[in-house]
Homo-oligomer: A and B are copies of this chain.
Amino acid sequence: MGNKNSGNEKDSWVTYRPKIKVCDCTIRDGGLINDHCYDDKFVKAVYDTLVVAGINYMEIGYKSSKKLFAPDQFGNWKFCDEDDMRRIIGENKTDLKICAMADTGRTDYHTDILPKKQSVLDTIRVACYIHQVPTALDIVKDVVDKGYEATMQLMAISVVQDKELSDGLELIAKSPVSAVFLVDSFGALYSEQVRKLVKKYLKVLEGTGKEVGVHCHNNQQLAYANTIEALILGATRLDATINGLGRGAGNCPLELLVGFLKNPRFKLRPIIECIEKEMLPLKAQLDWGHSIPYMITGQLNCHPREAIKLRKSQEKDSYLKFYDEMME
């Protein structure tokens, strides 16, 4: 029946690789839909779900610059102040590691990211575009010096040229990050491309001890499929969100991924409970997940911003007009 959870031909589908770690990005990526205004009850429900479900990491939000983003215009999870996090998770005496994203060019990391001892955060996920790699590596150095685990989220990989990607990965390979994530920001990649990219990442990072991760968007209903393709080839850090909550077409649904993983630490039931209790009511308020406009931007390998604009407008279902505009 194949070797679903493994890169090893000898394994069977009932085995699993203990190294595989799942990061839930529900609050962080989902925050892009509502300016990070989730209330405490919702964030606590997600946290409690992830603890019981045995998920390895929770990405709770961004460490964004308050000079660039006025705090009164955004919810708490744009900034992840310690007081706000502790109000939800206390001292987090659980196995679940907490991370926040530092978005290159939008974070005052030197001042806003505290020394690890003063924070409930375990990991800083540094996001950057290919041209920002040197700046991103300065964030990595800063946060590793402060005592955090750092990972690198190289975004919009579907529009990066091969030579530039090689150069960028070579630089990152020399940095103290623990993992490098292949981020399909536009939901544009097909499985063949994911396989090629994962192999490339693994090759460049070989011998460094760094892991390969994957973060997919669901524009073409391929987020989950591409995530499991990546893991079969050797990626060990997998991003997902509960019910796929996330910007635009959303992310790899955590419930699908956990249904696939065979490690007994992962539990599906609490995630299903959270979907019924928390996500269904939210669906009535917020628009996320696969729809035709997001499919179109994914197929065109471009940023979903035009589709997001459409979906927020009165013309949210004017698919044909949108298609014609995008094809111009």
Contacts and interface: CB of A to CB of B under 8 A. Distances in A.
B225 A221 contact: yes
Nearest to A273: B320
A119 interface: no
A221 B220 contact: no
A292 B317 contact: no
A221 B219 CA distance: 12
A6 to B, nearest CB: 10
Interface residues of A, number: 44
A222 B220 contact: no
A232 interface: yes
Nearest to A197: B2
Which of A190, A229, A275, A324 lies at the interface centre, i.e. has the most chain B CB atoms within 10 A of its CB?
A190
A268 interface: yes
A148 to B, nearest CB: 34
A280 interface: yes
Nearest to A158: B1
A256 interface: yes
Contact of A319 (B221, B232, B272): B272
Contacts of A3: 192
Interface in A251-286: 253, 255-256, 259-260, 268-269, 272-273, 275-276, 280
A2 B193 contact: yes
Main secondary structure of the interface of A (DSSP, over half): helix
A275 B253 CA distance: 25
A141 interface: no
A317 B191 CA distance: 32
A289 to B, nearest CB: 9
Contact of A323 (B1, B224, B256, B269): B269
A4 interface: yes
A190 B4 contact: yes
Interface of A: 1-4, 13, 190-193, 195-196, 218, 220-226, 228-229, 232, 253, 255-256, 259-260, 268-269, 272-273, 275-276, 280, 292, 295-296, 299, 317-320, 323-324
9 contacts: A190-B260, A192-B232, A220-B259, A221-B225, A225-B225, A269-B320, A269-B324, A272-B323, A276-B292
